[in-house]
Amino acid sequence: MCMIERIPFIHRDRLYYIVSREDITFSALHYIIDMLIDQGAFSMDTEETELFTIVCEKKKYTIGVDGIDIMITST
């Protein structure tokens, strides 16, 4: 069984928690969070996880956002 941890990550002076089994570069992670901010992912007042698709560095990611938790998987 593989344990997945919530890794704290600071971007633009805000704390997020990254949950991923993928190896993601810091530049890609910053880009992904910027795109999520631009799409209003952290301003949504919903109790459900919102899903987003973002392409970065020729890789397609599916991202779930739940509060400040960001769950990332590549597709």
CB atoms within 10 A of CB 17: 15
Domain count of the fold of the chain: 1
pLDDT tens per residue across span 38-72: 999 988 676 778 899 999 989 999 999 999 999 99
Domain extent at residue 35: 7-74
How many C-alpha atoms does 11 have within 13 Å on its Cβ side? 22
Residue 61: both structure tokens together: 């990611």
Look up the pTM and report it.
Answer: 0.87
In a domain, 31, yes or no: yes
Which pLDDT band, with edges at 50, 70 and 90, does 2 fall under? low
CB-CB contact of 50 with 44 (8 Å) = yes
Return all residues near 58 (Cβ < 8 A) that are at least 6 apart. Answer: none
**Is 2 part of any domain?**
no
